Structure formats: structure tokens, C-alpha cells
Structure 1
Amino acid sequence: MSNEVDENGAGSRVWDPKKSLTAIATCIGMGLIIVVIQALQVEQWGQFVGQASIMLAISGAAIMLGGLIGFLFGIPRRLQSEVNVKKANSEVIDDASSERQLYEGNTNLEQISDWLTKIIVGVTLVKLADIVGELSRYGNGIAAATGRPADAAFAVGLMIFFFIAGFLTGYLWSRLFLGRALSEAESRIRLQKKLDKLQQQAQSDAEAIAFARRQLSTGDPTLSVEAIEAILAAASAETLAHVFSLAENNRWRNWESNKEQMERSILIFETLIRLDQQGRYHRNLGQLAYCLKDKRQPDWETAENLFTRAIKCRGDANTHGWAAYEANRAIVRIALGDKILRQFGSIDEMNMAIKADLATALQDYWVAGWLRKDPHVEKWASDSQNKNLLTEREVVK
């Protein structure tokens, strides 16, 4: 018990359970002193050693037995109800990977404790009369061993006294310290797993960035497509965004002056598109389409398909921007000409689709600035069959 002052200034007495262990230890010490005093009643030194040894052995055995049973009764239980498991799982959700808690501690000891406590209580209640008789026979056996009839009652008393003391010690220790020790051990295990995961993620991110820089610098012909995809798949979302930025900057800086250097971004964009299985990022599609349109040997058809996919993924240009997709798709369709007539059925329908893309693109001031000067658009608009669809003034000026 300890004195504390509450918020109103009144004194209160708070029970400190740890002091109970101190009190029990004091009682055990006093019991051992009594054992020694009782052994001193013999006349010879040899008899004293024998008497003390027997009684101390009885005391130690009773303490250990009581402590074991108290430990079994006091083993803390894990919170394993459905609500608690869901709560625990929700606390370990990771922002990037949405990881759930899949591991729980081994509960075999708790189950054994539950079984044994029920068995012990049941056997004690059923065999109570037999236990009293066994204690009497036990005391008589000790008295016969020491040669002192009075030791029978003393031995039974020692057994009961130290058994209770051991039980209380084991029970309180389990309740006060074992639960905390198990919780701290599991916390350290979870923390170590998180640290290991962070370390592994950092290594994967470093490998992804190193690959991207190497690819954009000199290329790495030794890596297969599967190996490249595995490297980037292990990277975090933030690292993939950085890899995308490196490839995008490389394309932007070199698409006119150094097309060979620009083409090194193609492999990265292709891999990022394969990793985006849900099709959430239109910029991967758009950047790859730019690369295929502007490379040394343009792949117009694939670029046209990619621009269409990017537009569908992006949504409305007036809301989300990126009208350059429509502008470049119009340029690609003009360059393809008759090769894509099968998509539209007639030249007039194809020209109407091109006109719709140009109309959308021209609403963006920045796009309109360079689109009017594009040679493909200028040639298409000057064609006699398109004058009624899109006047020269609308496109060129």
C-alpha cells in the first residue's frame, strides 16, 4: 500500500501488487528460520545437518510445486477474439503495401495451462479426502526418517506453508511480469521484422534507381526483360515515381537532339506499364507513345494505340489537362494515313476524328503554340479535301 494525493487534495491508499511479492518473500524467509530453529533442537551436529537437510528439501519442493501451479494459473492469455485480431491487424497496415498481420504468437502454453488448471482443480475437489490421508502418511514417513514423532505434523505444516507461498509467488510473478515480458518480446520481434523489411525495401529501391541510371546512361544488355521487371517490381511506389521522372527527363532533353539517347527511356516506360496492371497511370502510356513517335524509326501504329489508351485512362482533357495526347494522336493519325482507315471505315470519318483531336488540343494555349507549326498538321489542313473540315486559319494561325 502507498499513500497518494488525488486531484481534490484528499489522501488515498493505492495497492502496489509488487509489494505483495516482497511480503511473501519475507514470510518464506521467516519459514526457513523456523526450519533452522527446529533443527537446532537435536543434540548432535550430525543429527542437525540431517534434520535441516530434510526439512529444507521439503520446503524447497513445496515452494517449487506451488510456484509451478501458481505459474500455470497465472499465465496471461493473448487477446485472440475476432474484434481484437481485427484491431491488431488494422494497427499494422502499411501505407505502401497494405500489409496485414499474418503472424500470431504460439498459444500452446496457454492451452496447456488451461487444461492443467482444470485438471488440478477437478482432481483436488474429487480426491480431497484422499489428499488428507496422503498428507498424514507423508508426515508419518518424514517422522520415521528423522526418528522424531513430532516431525510428522511439522513436515505437513511445512509442506502446506511453503506450497501456498510458492503458489502465490508463481501466480503473482506470472501476472505482474510474464505478460509484460512476452509482450516486449513480441514487440521486439515485430520491430525487428519491420526493420528488416525497411532495410530490404531500401536495398530494392537502391537497385531500381541504379538500374534506371545505368539504363539511361549506357544500357545493360545483360539483363532480360523478366529481370528488369523483377527489379522494378520490388521497388516502392515513391521509387517508381523517381524512376519515371528520370526516364521522362531523359526523353524530354533528347527527343530532338539525341534520339538514340532518348530511346533508352523506352524500356523503362514499357516495364512501368506492365507493372501498372490496373492501368492507373496515363503518363506511362503517354511517355512511351512520345518515345515511339519520335524515335529514329517511328512506330506510328503502336504510338497511336498508346495515345488512345492514355486518353481513356486520363479522362476528359478539359478537366485533367494533358491535351498534348490528342495533339500527338492527331499527328500520328495524319502520318499513318490510309494505314488506319480500317479503324474508321472512310477517310471522312478519319478526318472527323483528327479534327476532334485538334479541336481539343487547340484549347490548350501551350499545345496550340507548337501544334500550329507541326508540318504534318499544316500539310493535312492545306489538303483540298480537308478545307471544309478545318480551315487554315483555325490551325495555322
Structure 2
Amino acid sequence: MSWLKSAMRAAKKGEGHVAFVALFTLAPLLAFISLLIYTFSTASRGASAFASGVFISMASAATGSLFGFLFGIPRSRQRGEKEGFEKEEDREETSGNFGPNTNLEQISDWLTKILVGVGLVQIGNGTDAARRLVKSAGEAMGGTASARPVSASIIVTFVAWGFMVSYILTYTRGPRAFHSAYVMAVKKFKNQSELDAHTIEAAARVLDPPHGGRVVQQEEINSWAIQATSETRIWIFRVSKQQLDDALRDPTNNGDSISRTTPIFRALTAADAEYPPYVGYLGIALAMQSDPHFWDAEASLSEAIRLRRKREDAGWLEYEFYRVLCRIELKRNVDAIIQDLVSIQ
């Protein structure tokens, strides 16, 4: 088995090895050539027998690959566990601690033990099942006297080939693949967490700007909101909505506090223009800020009402109320104003 160890070591380094070339290419190639010669020289239905042999080969290889994958799934090293390599070069070839135990790893461990145990106990009962399988495969390959041993050879060959290829690839490439996937996931999570933190920080500076601090531009907060997760945007919306609602209930408020929520609702709308509360509260903020923009407010509220109806949501009737205020200020048609008042009731 020294060739297998050296081949695995070469595979971990990404180097070519004649054993792998032979195993991956020559073995199935020779098997298919032999199958082609057999089917078109002895079988009465050459094309049909060859197609059946190909499908049997594919099914056998898939079965062997599944078992090879289950047996070859790498086990993550726990903290404080010794790696147990005999040589330092073997230690250097490993991919490190790619993460904690996974469910797939545990399931693989359970399944391999179950399969080995059941296989040893039921090995005698499997003879009849194997005989029926070979008989069915032989009939599909022409039903001749030599079809059964040929079909049995195909099944054994490709099950073994699929197992070896899958096991070696999983054993040699698995740790590195698992480690890379784990690192990428951690980096993505870390980067997204940083983006969300920056978005919350920018929103806080807009809602409650520090004295003498840098003014956050609308394009900047838009960019942060677009990159943030939906959960972060919802949290920022609730904080901004609370500030707006508190300002509306405060009779001494001059609209400045509401004006500071307008950029936030603009950014949220830029990030998700299909969510009615974002669009609707942008309209409310535009209508009630210190420098009202009733035209834009009416447009935003009308869009929010359309989105609400599209989602078949019966709530958020304050949209119509504030649209009435906008239409009164803009001296709109009385019928349109009455229609909104009726819908509020």
C-alpha cells in the first residue's frame, strides 16, 4: 500500500501521479472498450446491450462513489487533539482546522458503522439479492450465457472504481475543500457584520448627528442600506419610525427631528422599493418635516398604497390620512380627498 500513500501525498500537493492517472482514466476506459467489444461481437442486440451496460456501469459507479464519499469524509480535529503524523511534511500537507464537527460528519460516521455492521451480519442473506441483480443485468445485456458473468464484472469493477475514486478525492481534497468553504463563510459573515455595523452607525449619525461631526451624505447612507441585511434595515426602520412617531406626538416639535428621518427612509426605499412601510413613511416624513415637500410626499404615499393593495395588506391606513393632508395643501380635487377620508373610516 506504499504506492497508495505516496499517491495520496502527491494528490494533496496537487502533483500528478501515474497511479491516479491509471485509476481515473485507464480503468474505466479499458472497461468500456471491453464492453463495446463484447456487446457487438456476441450479443444479438449490440446497441441495446451496450446501452444497458453503460447504464449499469453508471449506476454501479454512482453507488460506489456514494460509499466512498461516506467513508472518506474528513473528521475535523478538536481543540487539543493531536494530529498524529509521523513526518513533519505530512503535517504541513494538511489543511488545518477547517471548523467544528458538522452533522454531515456525524451522519457519515454513523452510516459507515451501520453499513459495516449490517453487512457483516447479513452477508449470507445478500447472496440471493446479488444473484437476482446479476440475472436482471445479464438479461438487459442480451440474455446470453456469457451476459451474466460480464454484467457481474461490470458491477464489481465500477462499484470498486467509484468507491476508490470518490474515497481518494474526498480523503485528499476534502479537508482543503471543507476548510476553504468554512473560511469563506466566516469571511462573508464577518464582512456582512461589519457592513451592518457601519450602516447602523451611519443611520445613528443621521438621526442624532453629533455636534461638529461629519455630515453623512444621502448617497453614502443609500449605499450602506443597500448592502445591509434585511434584518438590519428593519431594525433601522423601527428606530426611525419611533423617532418620527415621537416627534408627531410632541406639540413643541418644529419638524427638525422628522427631517432627520427623511434621509433614512429615502435610503431604505432605495434598498427595497417594494416594501410599503419604507415608501409610506418616506411620504409621511416628507409631508411633516420642517420644510414639507407635499408633491413628493403625495407620490410616495400613493405608491405605498398601491404596494399595500398589491400585497393585499389591510393595514397602514395612515397613508390615506397623510395623503389627504398633502392633497389639501396641494388643493387637489375634492372627490379624491373625500375618497381617502372614506377609506380611513
State TM-score, norm by structure 1. 0.45
Report whether the alignment pairs 1:203 with 2:194. yes
1:289 — aligned with what?
283
Distance 1:111 1:273 in 2: 60
Distance 1:227 1:237 in 2: 18
Q: Per-residue displacement from partner, 1:253-283 (whole Å, max 9, x unpaired)? A: 113432212211011111111112xx32111
Asked whether the 8 Å contact 1:75–1:179 carries over to 2, the reply is no
Distance 1:178 1:281 in 2: 47
Which of 15, 21, 29 does residue 114 from structure 1 map onto?
21
Alignment of 1:156-235 (within 5 A): 179-218=170-209, 221-235=214-228
Q: Per-residue displacement from partner, 1:298-333 (whole Å, max 9, x unpaired)? A: 211111111111111111799522121112212211
- Alignment partner of 2:274: what SS? coil
Asked whether the 8 Å contact 2:269–2:278 carries over to 1, the reply is yes
Alignment of 1:1-397 (within 5 A): 67=3, 71=7, 113-114=20-21, 179-218=170-209, 221-255=214-248, 256=250, 257-258=252-253, 259-276=255-272, 279-315=273-309, 319-337=313-331, 340=332, 350-362=333-345
The amino acid of 2:182's aligned partner reads L
- Offset at residue 173 of structure 1 (A): 9.7
Asked whether the 8 Å contact 1:317–1:360 carries over to 2, the reply is no
* 1:316–1:68 distance in 2 versus 1, CA, 3 Å: closer
Distance 1:318 1:175 in 2: 51
The amino acid of 2:184's aligned partner reads K
- Offset at residue 113 of structure 1 (A): 3.8
- Offset at residue 226 of structure 1 (A): 2.5
The amino acid of 2:201's aligned partner reads A
Unpaired segments ≥5 residues, structure 2:
30-162
- Alignment partner of 1:320: what SS? coil
The amino acid of 2:199's aligned partner reads A
State TM-score, norm by structure 2. 0.51
* 1:112–1:194 distance in 2 versus 1, CA, 3 Å: farther
Aligned residues: 207
Distance 1:188 1:238 in 2: 28
Asked whether the 8 Å contact 2:237–2:265 carries over to 1, the reply is yes
Q: Per-residue displacement from partner, 1:224-254 (whole Å, max 9, x unpaired)? A: 3322222222211100111111111111111
Q: Which structure's relative contact order is higher, taking Cα pairs within 8 Å and 6+ residues apart?
A: 2
Distance 1:111 1:358 in 2: 83
Distance 1:230 1:328 in 2: 29
- Alignment partner of 2:216: what SS? coil
- Two-structure CA RMSD over aligned residues (Å): 3.9
Distance 2:18 2:25 in 1: 11
1:163 — aligned with what?
none
Asked whether the 8 Å contact 2:226–2:270 carries over to 1, the reply is no
Asked whether the 8 Å contact 1:263–1:291 carries over to 2, the reply is yes
The amino acid of 2:21's aligned partner reads D
Distance 1:175 1:70 in 2: 17
- Offset at residue 201 of structure 1 (A): 1.1
Distance 2:278 2:172 in 1: 50
Q: Among all aligned residue pairs of Structure 1 and Structure 2, give the percentage whose two residues are the same amino acid.
A: 22
The amino acid of 1:189's aligned partner reads S
Distance 1:246 1:284 in 2: 12
Distance 1:225 1:108 in 2: 53
Distance 2:268 2:167 in 1: 54
Asked whether the 8 Å contact 1:75–1:175 carries over to 2, the reply is no
Unpaired segments ≥5 residues, structure 1:
1-20, 22-62, 77-105, 123-171, 341-349, 363-397
- Alignment partner of 2:330: what SS? helix
* 1:196–1:213 distance in 2 versus 1, CA, 3 Å: same
* 1:184–1:330 distance in 2 versus 1, CA, 3 Å: same
- Offset at residue 180 of structure 1 (A): 2.2
